[in-house]
Amino acid sequence: MISDSIKRIEELLCELEKNSASATTARELRLQLADVYTKLRYANSVKRDGKAVIDRNNVEGIFEEAVKNEEFKVFYQPKVNLKTYEPEGAEALCRWIHNDEVIAPDDFIPILEQSSRIETLDFYMLDHVCSDMRKWLDAGKNVVQVSVNLSRINVGQDRLIERIIETVDRYAIPHSYIQIELTETSTELGFDELRDLVLGLRDAGISTAVDDFGTGYSSLKLISELPWNVLKIDKSLLHEAEREGSSEHLMLSHIISMVRDLGMECVVEGVETPEDIKLLKDNNCFMAQGFYFDRPISVEYFEQLLDGVSHRKRKR
């Protein structure tokens, strides 16, 4: 069993950590172990022995029980400063652990978005992120801002802003530690509703981000008329821009420059190679997220990252 092997490796790492000279190496190995464990579980997540882990048609039927049993887990993917190679933020991502298997988000989120159940999941995630943050703050950890995804289906819901604030305040989390991410396709549901949401969160001191920028028919109105704090460039645009001199390369360069001139922070997703890092640095973009640094990791491993395991070893 994968879990048995992981447990044994964990025991060996604990022994290493008892030796102060080996403690740092052990912590770094533990983070690498988290990465391997996630890869192994994902490789086994959708099917087992050729059989689906979960019937897509049954997602809604078992959703409420899964929420009650807390089968949905928060995984954190760090956002890294390319000047210091330290994590300066993270994105909270949902993973469904059902019958000891990880169900990929694409297998359940689109289904939940067809009903009000996605609202339940969004606030479940926000609540759990705030709960984690409260523990970190109480423990004196170096807490970073965490972004939480909000489905475009929820834009325009009654008391949405109030509910977000109430959830954050329930745990006495400083509003600056929370960021709400909305995909650029959120504009499909009405610019006025989106504007009211972004403005309302800004007035409450909660940061907002445009997620997956570059995947749809982007509108300059979306980023020029709304006070976003962050624009996140989708990985597809990054990978298409890797050929220097291409139209995609020029487009990426101009988008980064425009975002900076508008006073927003630019974060690029899907960073996987040293070449990606060089491309971003050459274009004066210094915030990145992707597998080059970490896959989404469990709260336990993310806490170790907050405790001081650095990404400096990856510096090129």
Per-residue pLDDT of the chain (316 residues; tens, 9 = 90+): 444 555 555 566 556 555 655 555 555 555 555 555 444 444 443 444 444 556 666 888 899 999 999 999 999 999 999 999 999 999 999 999 998 888 889 889 988 988 889 999 999 999 999 999 999 999 999 899 999 999 988 888 889 999 999 999 999 999 999 999 997 555 555 788 889 999 999 999 999 999 888 766 556 778 888 899 999 998 888 888 877 777 888 989 999 999 999 999 999 999 999 999 999 999 999 999 999 999 999 999 999 888 874 444 444 4
Q: Are residues 51 and 183 in the same domain?
A: yes
Report the largest interatomic distance among the alpha carbons of the chain, rounded to a whole angstrom: 59
Q: Are residues 14 and 64 in the same domain?
A: no
Q: Are residues 78 and 186 in the same domain?
A: yes
- CA neighbor of 147 nearest in space, from 84, 229, 226: 229
H helix intervals, 44-116? 59-68, 109-112
Give how far the C-alpha of residue 256 lies from the chain's centroid of Cα atoms, to the nearest Å. Answer: 20
Q: Are residues 22 and 72 in the same domain?
A: no
109-115 long-range Cβ contacts below 8 angstroms, 24+ apart: 109/151, 111/56, 111/59, 111/60, 112/59, 112/60, 112/63, 113/151, 113/153, 115/60
Q: Is the dihedral of CA 166, 80, 233, 252 positive or negative?
A: positive
In this structure, what token pair is assigned to residue 116? 């009000």
Predicted local confidence at residue 199, as pLDDT: 96
**Which residue type occupies 247?**
S
Q: Are residues 76 and 186 in the same domain?
A: yes
Predicted local confidence at residue 79, as pLDDT: 97
The total number of structural domains in the chain stands at 2
Q: Are residues 252 and 138 in the same domain?
A: yes
Q: Judging by DSSP bridges, how do beta strands 47-48 and 265-268 pair with one another?
A: unpaired
Q: Are residues 254 and 166 in the same domain?
A: yes
Q: Are residues 4 and 145 in the same domain?
A: no
Predicted local confidence at residue 38, as pLDDT: 46
CATH number of domain containing 248: 3.20.20.450
Q: Are residues 177 and 215 in the same domain?
A: yes
Structural domain that includes position 145: 47-314
